Amino acid sequence: MEKISFFLRYLSFILSAKDEHSIHSPFVFDLYTKAIKPRKNFYVFTAIEKLRSKLLSSTKKIKVTDYGAGSKIENSPERSVSNIARYAEKSPELAQLIFRLIEYLKPAIIFDLGTSLGITTIYEASPSHESKVITFEGCPETSKIARENFQKMKLKNIELVEGNIDQTLPAKIQQVQKIDFIFFDANHRYEPTVRYFETCLEKAREESVFVFDDIHWSKEMEEAWQYIQNHPRVTISIDLFFLGIIFFRTKQPKQHFKLKC
Ligand SMILES: C[S@@+](CC[C@H](N)C(=O)[O-])C[C@H]1O[C@@H](n2cnc3c(N)ncnc32)[C@H](O)[C@@H]1O
């Protein structure tokens, strides 16, 4: 039943989403035509995808500590690294879209909620080694593999904050002046999504960008996305179906875009 309603949401999106011809805002037009739509290839993609392939063929098993379901700790039986790489990491298409957004917008301080094995984090840290990526993960054994992956890619601009985001995010946020870019990909439920959004709002500035994963994945996530896009501080919201992007640009009128990508 869930699968059918997800498919219907996708169908409804496909039928109503627009392209650059419907965009009157120069800022959104440029973002769409320069960063979202073109599938530009960057040399680093090959190395990152090679790392993903290694994880996909790994025979290693780890004990996963899961804070995902409403922040209750669940120690599931062992899970294979290859299974995590297949089902938890963002696809190359979505991770590369995040890379292009960062490459275009040039954020200096990037927050990444939900590291997992670190593939998307590596995409976030690669456009500029001058940026700082602060990534959050609850599971110690998953964090260990992510750290190894950051080392393999020789990335020194990533800090992994281990522990439950419910506690680590409010603490870490006090140590930064502002957040330029955040990718929310940890606990895909209404309450934590809205709570993490409100926690991060405190450090959102005129040029900040918040990106939410899987905004149509469930009824709860759709409600969270509605709440976020209707928030008085949010001016521009862009629905790409699998991702939602928001901006706080005060000189722009509040506008919502549903765009094909
Ligand atoms: C979907 S995966 C992230 C995938 C990653 N962004 C990527 O694309 O490579 C979600 C991760 O968030 C972590 N997570 C979920 N809820 C959390 C919480 N409350 N505190 C810390 N980590 C959490 C899970 O352990 C899991 O590794």
pLDDT in tens, 79-119: 999 999 999 999 999 999 999 999 999 999 999 999 999 99
pLDDT at residue 1 is higher than 80: no
Tokens 């392939």 label which residue? 53
Q: Is the pLDDT of residue 146 over 80?
A: yes
pTM: 0.95
Q: With bands split at pLDDT 50, 70 and 90, how would you rate the model's confidence at 75?
A: low
Q: Which atom of ligand 1 is nearest to the CA of 65?
A: 25
* DSSP 8-state code for residue 216: T
Which tokens go with 79? Answer: 């899970």
Judge contact between 124 and 102, C-beta under 8 A: yes
Question: Which pLDDT belongs to residue 5?
Answer: 86
Evaluate if residue 258 carries a pLDDT over 70.
Answer: yes
Residues 88/117, Cβ–Cβ less than 8 Å: yes
Asked if pLDDT for residue 76 goes beyond 80, the answer is no
Amino acid 260: pLDDT: 95
pLDDT over 70 for what percent of the chain? Answer: 96
Nearest residue CA, atom 11 of ligand 1? 114
Task: Say yes or no: CB of residue 65 within 6 Å of ligand 1.
Answer: no
**Closest Cα to residue 9, out of 231, 261, 221, 228?**
221
pLDDT per residue over 197-211, tens digit each?
Answer: 999 999 999 999 999
The pLDDT of residue 67 is 84
Regarding the beta carbon of 193 and ligand 1, being less than 6 Å apart is answered no
68: Cβ below 6 Å to ligand 1? yes
| DSSP 8-state assignment for residue 36 | I
Q: Which CATH number belongs to the domain containing residue 236 in this structure?
A: 3.40.50.150
What percent of the chain stands above pLDDT 90?
90
- Expressed in angstroms and rounded, the spacing between residue 46 Cα and the centre of ligand 1 is 24
Helix (H) or strand (E) holding 181: strand 179-184
Confirm or reject: Cβ of 88 under 6 Å from ligand 1. Answer: yes
Q: Given this model, what pLDDT does residue 14 score?
A: 93
CA of 138 to the centre of ligand 1 (A): 7
pLDDT tens digits for range 163-199: 999 999 999 999 999 999 999 999 999 999 999 999 9
Location of structure tokens 């949401």: 9
Inter-residue contact 230 to 256 (CB < 8 Å): no
Residue type, 225: W
Q: Whose CA is nearest to atom 21 of ligand 1?
A: 138
Of residues 74 and 95, more confidently modeled: 95
Q: What is the mean pLDDT of the chain?
A: 94
Distance 1 CA to ligand 1 centre (A): 26
Position 122 pLDDT exceeds 90: yes
pLDDT given at position 70: 44
Contact 139, 81 (CB under 8 A): no
Residue range 44-68: mean pLDDT, rounded:
95
Q: Cα of 255 to ligand 1 centre, how many Å?
A: 30
Q: What is the pLDDT of residue 69?
A: 54
Give the chain's domain count: 1
Structure tokens at 100: 């292009």
Q: What range does the domain containing 39 cover? A: 2-258
